[in-house]
Amino acid sequence: MTQTSVETTLSPAALVLTGPEREVVGELADHLAKTGPAATDDLDWIRAVRNASAGLPRRLLAELRAFRHDAGPDGVLLIRNLPVAPADGTRLPSTPSHAGSVERTASTAAAVVTAAMLQLGEVIAYRNEKSGALVQNVVPVPGQESQQSNAGSELLEMHTENAFHNNRPDYIGLLCVREDPSGEARLCTASVRRALPLLSERARRVLSEDRFLTEAPPSFEIREGAAPAHAILPGAPEDPNVLVDFHATHPLDNEAREAMAELRDVLIRVTSALALTPGDLAVVDNRLAVHGRSSFSPRYDGTDRWLHRVYASLDNRRTRPLRHAAGAVLG
Ligand SMILES: O=C(O)CCC(=O)C(=O)O
Ligand SMILES: [Fe+2]
């Protein structure tokens, strides 16, 4: 990690771009926003962003590369002071508030988050989620307050992103375009590396066994029939991954239920709660950290909290059978 990295238990590593670094990113992103076809789902635009992303500031490239090698104790990288609006002073539009909102047209912010994620892996989306868009809006939607999705505004339980899916994303990028005017919303993240030492031996063992089932959200079809039972802490016992969604994962027996409850308590104790401000990009390693969101009070007047979300996957070949015509959408 570079000198600007901050490492305390409750705030993940952060890289704050300098003014000149921010300008470099801004020039690159403003140019991409105008680069034909200027459509975020178009593979030609993605190619242009991928090429341009090699010109991101050196320190940012080095930090992303180091994070890909090992996502550290928190499994989260926070990059701050990124541009989210064009340098020519054009104002951002109002925060969208419709269900399933996505960002199909290229923009400065869409280019910034896509460029950063393309340095971590291949950007992907899911046909059955947010209409397969690569750049998605995380905004509160009227009438969906209590939904356990990113359209809600009541507490969103900690989860592995798309936990049920065999080809879940390896990384999730969340770029803050507009901050929550109520000041309440927090992106919450918690890593299994921080949690593991606080778990009992018994919970560790039970959580490493195939004693849990994770449901798909109603919008996803599971082709292969019922999902198989899985472990919540798969992998190396001393440094496992975490695979759980506290809304959608169900223990198969009492001991498994107790272990899951213990894990939830421990994860809460090691949670970082981030009040994102414009230009903050939180990258979550979806193997090592779970994330969720505190409750907040939307206004639905165009000034609400607004994030762009982009997923990245590390293995383009592994997902190929699911990507029609070698596109970026898993279906
Ligand atoms: O709103 C947030 O901070 C995170 C929501 C979330 O879990 C997601 O978009 O995947
Ligand atoms: Fe999520």
Confidence at residue 51, expressed as pLDDT on a 0 to 100 scale: 98
What's at 161, amino acid-wise? Answer: E
* Total residues found in the chain within this entry: 331
Residue 169 DSSP label: -
Find the 231 Cα to ligand 1 centroid distance in Å: 23
- Over the chain, what is the mean pLDDT? 94
Residue 7 has pLDDT above 80, yes or no: no
Nearest-CA neighbor of 81 among 58, 35, 110, 112?
112
Q: What is the residue with the minimal CA distance to atom 9 of ligand 1? A: 150
**Nearest-atom index, ligand 1, CA of 276:** 3
Per the structure block, which two tokens stand in for 76?
Answer: 């989260």
Q: Both ends of the chain: CA-CA distance in Å?
A: 37
Provide CATH 3.60.130.10 ranges for the chain. 13-193+275-330
Residue 271 backbone dihedrals phi, psi, to 5 degrees = -80, 135
Confidence at residue 5, expressed as pLDDT on a 0 to 100 scale: 36
Residue 205 has pLDDT above 90, yes or no: yes
Q: Is residue 145 lining ligand 1, measured as CB closer than 6 Å?
A: no
Section 228-250 average pLDDT: 97
Q: Is residue 101 lining ligand 1, measured as CB closer than 6 Å?
A: no
Residue 225 has pLDDT above 90, yes or no: no
Confidence at residue 8, expressed as pLDDT on a 0 to 100 scale: 39
**pLDDT band at 1; cut points 50, 70, 90:** very low
Confidence at residue 227, expressed as pLDDT on a 0 to 100 scale: 81
Residue 146 backbone dihedrals phi, psi, to 5 degrees = -95, 5
Q: Is residue 308 lining ligand 1, measured as CB closer than 6 Å?
A: no
CA distance linking residue 191 with residue 158, whole number of Å:
11
Mind listing the pLDDT tens digit for each residue in 94-121?
999 999 999 999 999 999 999 999 999 9
Dihedral (CA of 151, 152, 156, 162) sign: negative
**pLDDT band at 153; cut points 50, 70, 90:** very high
CATH for 13-193+275-330 (3.60.130.10, 3.40.640.10, 3.30.70.1250, 3.40.50.720): 3.60.130.10
CA distance linking residue 273 with residue 36, whole number of Å:
38
